[in-house]
Each structure stands twice: as C-alpha cells, then as structure tokens.
Amino acid sequence: MDRCISVIVPVYNTKDYLEQCVQSIHSQTYKHLEVLLVDDGSTDGSAELCDALSEQDARITVIHKPNGGASSARNAGLDAMRGEFVLFVDSDDYIHPQMCEVLVGLIGKYDADISMCFSRGTKVRDYAEPPQPSYREQCLTGVQAMELLYGGDAFSFFGYNPTSNMFRLYKRSLFGSDLRYDENAVVAEDDTMTPYLLARAERIASVDRRMYYIYERPGSLSRSGISDERWKNICETKVRMYTERLRAFEDKEKFRSLVRMWYSIALFDLAEAYNMRADKACRRTLKSCYNRLLRQGMKKHTFDIKRTLIFCAIYMNPRFLKLF
C-alpha cells in the first residue's frame, strides 16, 4: 500500500469511548489509511462493537486475541499491518481531523523517519484545540532528539508526555521484524521502546500543534492508582529496561554522552523507586540493580568524583536521595 498509514488501536473494555475514537480516525482528511482494531480479549461488548464498526468502513480490520496487555496488542497490529507508516491511538482517546495529513506532510517536507505533533489531556469528550496563526516546526537527527529528551528541554520538541509513542507517525521500517514492545511490561511500555526507535531514525520532525487528545477517564491503565502487584511490575520493568538499554548502547561511540545521562537517570530513578511503597523483595531487586549499575558506571569512568560520591552515599542510604 503506497504511502498508506496503518492506524493501530489496542482495544480493551472501552466500549463507551471506542466509537468516538474510531470516528475521529474515519474523519481524517488523509484517506489512505488502514485501521487495525486489536481487541485484546474485551469482556464489555467492545469486541462486538469492533466488528460492527468494521462493517461501516472497509478500511477497518479487526483482530481478536486473548488478553495480553497493551504491548501485546500493539505487537499484533505491527505484525499484521500493511502500510508504509504506523500510528498508535489509544481506544479512549481521539485525534484532530487533520492529524494524519499534517504528520505525513512533515515526513515528506523534512525527509524524516518520524514525525510528531503535540497532545493535550482533557476531561471532556468534545475538546478541540483552537487554531493558531502559526505553528513552530523543528527537525532534529535521532541522536539530537535523544539528547534533548534525556538531558535537555524535552517539552519544547516533544511536547506533553515526551516518551509516549502516541501522536507520532513512524516509518514501518524502523520496527523491522525485530523491534517489538515488551509484553512483560504492564506499564511504561513506551519508555522501554522510545530510545530504540529514536536511535534508528535519521531525522525526526515535530510541530507544536496539539492534535492528539488524551481523555483522562477514571479507570484508565495509565491514569489509575498503583496497586501492589502493578508496583512490583514497575520495579521489575525499570530494572530490565535500564539493564537492556545500557547493554544495547554502551559501546557505541555516538551514544557516549547519552549513556552517561542514562546511568545517572537510572540510578536516581531506582533510588526513588526504592523509597516508594515497595515490598522487601522489590527493594532487594532494586538495590542489587543499583549496585550493579553503579559499579559498572564507575568501572567505565562514567562519573566524576562528585557524582560518584553522591551515588555511593545514596547506595548506603537511599533516603539521602532527598538531599540532592
């Protein structure tokens, strides 16, 4: 499908919101779309609604699968997609009618591999961003974007929720056959994927126009409270994410400054997680990972003396984190 956008919508028990989401995709001014509704084992009638919506628009394909989480649903969509580009939309969110047209235009204008707009959280279902006289466009290399995301003013380029994989149009080739979402992560799946996608991109284009609307509904996975089981999963995901990320990028010269940032981010983040409400098993895992990353960073001379002393003090007593 030439220049086709595959819009992947993971669906799980969002019957009350799904129709508006799909309608916002159906109403896009850019018409070369395929819409993949991935029903992730819904039990509230969402699965039947997906089938009904597919009868109204030939561009819609429904994939029914057992419940496996958002990452599993996205991966099912990636494996089935036929378009040149991919866009992810959560089934309780909705998008501006010109979003796809604007993002495709940015990719063409800047010969980019990723294009992105800004988003806005809203508690109403009919919010529309008022038009502005002009919008700021920017284009960075993948490495420049990563340095900005992890060590600079990320919001100026990425907007609200800078590590999100929503409101971004990706060339399918970035994912290839090997890059997929971590299905063991119930939360923070975007954080685990973002650096790998940015690293594969030659150029990334951005416009500060809010065209993706995040509905802040009660009970949403990303907006609900954290249970003990989910907290355990967060801790395990953090340990795995930082360990795998550093292993993947550490010996690549062009990412040297990023690796230095990631060591610091990882150590502060792990210490903060330790200080929050985690059980003893989680704390032991977090502290063990902290110690391993600290030793690894010191061995590779990543830290100066001041930072080394700070991280050693935090290891001795994670509550020292509050002093820095």
Identify the CA nearest to 290 among candidates 309, 310, 271.
Answer: 271
Per-residue pLDDT of 184-207, as tens digits, reads 876 667 888 999 999 999 999 999
Q: State yes or no: pLDDT of 172 exceeds 50.
A: yes
Q: How far apart are CA 103 and CA 115, in angstroms?
A: 6
Identify the CA nearest to 88 among candidates 189, 178, 158, 157.
Answer: 189
Min mean pLDDT across 53-62, 88-97, 179-188 is at 179-188
Min mean pLDDT across 7-21, 48-62, 265-279 is at 265-279
Q: Indicate the pairing of strand 168-171 with strand 85-88.
A: antiparallel
Based on C-alpha coordinates, what's the Rg of the chain?
21
Which runs of consecutive H residues, i.e. helices, occur in the chain? 15-26, 46-54, 70-80, 99-110, 142-151, 154-158, 189-200, 228-249, 256-275, 280-299, 305-316
Per-residue pLDDT of 215-244, as tens digits, reads 886 655 454 456 666 667 777 777 788 888
Whether residue 283 contacts residue 234, with contact meaning beta carbons closer than 8 Å, is answered with no
Whether residue 241 contacts residue 214, with contact meaning beta carbons closer than 8 Å, is answered with no
Q: How far apart are CA 137 and CA 210, in angstroms?
A: 13
Q: Position of tokens 């050693």?
A: 312
Whether residue 192 contacts residue 241, with contact meaning beta carbons closer than 8 Å, is answered with yes
Q: State yes or no: pLDDT of 1 exceeds 50.
A: no
Q: State yes or no: pLDDT of 303 exceeds 80.
A: no
Would you state the structure tokens that stand for residue 185, as one six-digit string? 């992560």
| Beta-ladder partners of 138 | 206
Whether residue 196 contacts residue 174, with contact meaning beta carbons closer than 8 Å, is answered with no
Q: State yes or no: pLDDT of 169 exceeds 50.
A: yes
Per-residue pLDDT of 68-115, as tens digits, reads 999 999 999 999 999 999 999 999 999 999 999 999 999 999 999 999
**DSSP line for 55-89:** TT-TTEEEEEE----HHHHHHHHHHH--SSEEEE-
Identify the CA nearest to 110 among candidates 83, 141, 66, 70.
Answer: 141
Q: State yes or no: pLDDT of 50 exceeds 80.
A: yes
Identify the CA nearest to 11 among candidates 21, 1, 3.
Answer: 21
Q: How far apart are CA 191 and CA 234, in angstroms?
A: 11
Identify the CA nearest to 40 among candidates 158, 249, 186, 159.
Answer: 186
Q: Indicate the pairing of strand 137-141 with strand 203-215.
A: antiparallel
Whether residue 181 contacts residue 74, with contact meaning beta carbons closer than 8 Å, is answered with yes
Sign for the CA dihedral angle at 190, 192, 195, 199 comes to: negative
Q: State yes or no: pLDDT of 46 exceeds 70.
A: yes
**Neighbour tally for 201: CB within 10 Å:** 20
